[in-house]
Amino acid sequence: MYVRPEIARMTGYTPGEQPGVRKVIKLNTNENPYPPSDAIGPAVAAAIQSGLQRYPDPRATAFRACAGHVFGFDPDWILCGNGSDDILTICTRAFVGEGEFVRFPHPSYLLYGTLAEVQGAQVETIDFNADWSLADEFAVPGPALKLVYLPNPNSPSGTLIAPQQIASLANKLECPLLVDEAYVDFAKSNCLELVRKHPNVMVSRTLSKSYGLAGLRFGFLVAQPETIAELNKVKDSYNCDALSIAAATAAVNDQAWLRTNRDKVIAGREFLAASLRELGFQVPDSAANFVWAVHPTAQAKTLFETLKQNGILVRYMTYDRWPEGIRISVGTPEQNELVISMLRDLV
């Protein structure tokens, strides 16, 4: 093997299963159960008309202008990515050198660890408190600590840390704090305003979940212009293609679609949480489009496997020092009813 030892040693990130058969009810990777805005099709068709023989705009100017208007930032505060995973990669490459440290809470998004490993960086995870609040240690600066990732809302718990607390965390840390807001459109608060006041706060967003565009691959980062300018040097020149830029611009322009969709998904989430609690599951309050369910007696793995045999995919998760559970993405009302009625027979 000719690869670097760091790569040979690592196992790699395992994404949630994408079954070939379309018939399964897919509640395992937090996609939106509904198709995206009708504005997407014509926008993509127009981008094809205007000629794919040319390279795309390296800075996705049209998207940044539109998103800047919607979110209240000048375009030079925005960096676009091939999904927000690309944004996470760019930040890791830009801020963290070999042997230096990244920090993130545990249990949370497993990709952060993978990115650090590829970079040859060291990982420091800090366990959440039992109620999914952040431990005090999380805010303690470290000499070689170069990047802190904070998914908010968190996955798999769906829990949310308040912006005031994140502001105080940013003040204590002496390194960049990347608030991963992949699910924030389903939450009551977000950290965009913190970016204006705190040079070390960056906020990443994705169109994969709340805009129903996981198949598209588009995400973006909001940070101060000095930071964005540096990150632009690190990203691939053409990290977003012409079709995805056109589609993402149309999607962000259709905030009415987002509001309607969000209300439907939140209603589904509240139904799932209440029904699961009636069945004896412990379900932390979720601010995302999924719920984390831990049962005191029924084995999560068995629940997962039985649901799967019955055509419903959920995510089974085990984490060190944490009770195993299942993460269920919000589906359509019929899908939510079905998963609950099957679980009712199982517990």
Binding site for ligand PLP (CB under 6 A): 83-85, 109, 151, 155, 180, 182, 206, 208, 214, 219
| CB closer to ligand PLP, 62 vs 221 | 221
Shortest Cβ 330–ligand PLP spacing (Å): 14
| CB closer to ligand PLP, 75 vs 219 | 219
Shortest Cβ 20–ligand PLP spacing (Å): 20
| CB closer to ligand PLP, 28 vs 84 | 84
Work out the angle at residue 142's Cα, subtended by the Cα atoms of residues 136 and 145, and round it to the nearest 5 degrees: 110
Shortest Cβ 84–ligand PLP spacing (Å): 4
| CB closer to ligand PLP, 246 vs 298 | 246
| CB closer to ligand PLP, 110 vs 144 | 110
Shortest Cβ 119–ligand PLP spacing (Å): 17
Shortest Cβ 3–ligand PLP spacing (Å): 24
Contact 317, 156 (CB under 8 A): yes
Shortest Cβ 111–ligand PLP spacing (Å): 7
| CB closer to ligand PLP, 251 vs 343 | 251
